[in-house]
């Protein structure tokens, strides 16, 4: 087991990439704290963690605030005694016409940057001291191909680009102290958020959305949440012990099409 004895936090762990990652971490031996706002879906993730043979816990709160981020880290340490891995996965999409986002509202801009980028800073801020006490750790930030091309909207792209820049800056500072920071950038993926499941889309509408995604990708299909989870597991475990400050793009070839 690649994460045996490790303690991890997965933000936004109630669905999509976060849920798949939490389950894979459990299968690899990690104890997992799911930090999320959705109690029902969060409890389901914890149940999946336990079914996978490990221990899980749910922390409800807004991790884009200092209080919420600190509570998530404190809960991991109090319940499981340490913190080794942080996955900053929580995020929201920019809705509306993606071809006209330069004049997005100030409220939308601030919300996208707060949830998608500020949460990465805050959770890392409180997690890093715990990892230093442990003698090292790994932070994996979920960015997006939107950081490198014009998809998803201006606020979303700015937030995801900020994640990559933050990860590079902090990874350089912490490399001598054995805390690694890397990013995974998903392309067009099948998740409850991207299909519209969480916003009430019908199964037919969800499949049409995935067909549109697949038509854009050289591999001719949308990716799966497990594709992202596997990349995160690699960056979290000791197999990547000499990898820091890097971005793994998981996009079916979209950026090189």
Task: Let me know how long the chain is.
Answer: 257
Whether 156 sits among the annotated catalytic residues: the reply is yes
Q: Rounded to an integer, what distance in angstroms lies between the CA atom of residue 10 and that of residue 91?
A: 12
The alpha carbon dihedral of 231, 111, 170, 131 has a sign of negative
Q: What is the dihedral of CA 31, 78, 117, 66, to 10 degrees?
A: 170
Cα 119 versus chain centre, distance: 11
Helix, strand, or coil (residue 196): coil
Answer for the pair 171, 181: CB distance below 8 angstroms, yes or no.
yes
Helix, strand, or coil (residue 18): helix
Q: Rounded to an integer, what distance in angstroms lies between the CA atom of residue 193 and that of residue 206?
A: 10
Burial of 97 (0-12, 13-18, 19+ CB in 10 A): exposed
**Which one of the listed residues 156, 166, 188, 254 is annotated catalytic?**
156
Answer for the pair 237, 25: CB distance below 8 angstroms, yes or no.
no
The count of other CB atoms within 10 Å of the CB of residue 61 is: 16
The kind and range of the H/E element at 51 are helix 39-51
Helix, strand, or coil (residue 248): strand
Tokens representing 213?
A: 């995604």
Q: Please give the positions annotated as active site.
A: 156
């Amino acid at each position: 087991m690649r994460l045996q004895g490790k303690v991890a936090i997965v933000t936004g762990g109630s669905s999509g990439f976060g849920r798949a990652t939490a389950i894979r971490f459990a299968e690899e031996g990690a104890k997992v704290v799911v930090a999320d706002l959705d109690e029902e879906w969060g409890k389901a993730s914890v149940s999946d963690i336990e079914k996978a043979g490990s221990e899980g816990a749910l922390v409800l709160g807004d991790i884009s605030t200092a209080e919420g981020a600190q509570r998530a880290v404190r809960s991991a340490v109090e319940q499981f005694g340490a913190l080794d891995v942080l996955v900053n996965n929580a995020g929201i999409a920019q809705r509306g016409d993606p071809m006209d986002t330069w004049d997005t509202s100030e409220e939308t801009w601030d919300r996208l940057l707060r949830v998608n980028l500020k949460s990465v800073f805050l959770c890392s801020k409180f997690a890093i001291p715990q990892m230093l006490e442990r003698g090292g750790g790994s932070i994996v930030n979920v960015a997006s191909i939107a950081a490198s091309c014009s998809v998803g909207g201006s606020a979303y792209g700015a937030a995801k680009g900020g994640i990559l820049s933050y990860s590079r800056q902090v990874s350089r500072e912490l490399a001598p102290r054995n805390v690694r920071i890397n990013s995974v950038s998903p392309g067009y993926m099948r998740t409850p958020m991207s299909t519209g499941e969480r916003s009430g889309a019908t199964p037919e509408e969800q499949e049409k959305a995935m067909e549109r995604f697949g038509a854009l990708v050289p591999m001719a299909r949308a990716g799966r949440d497990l594709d992202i989870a596997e990349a995160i597991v690699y960056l979290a475990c000791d197999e990547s012990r000499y990898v820091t400050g890097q971005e793994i793009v998981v996009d079916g070839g979209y950026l090189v099409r």
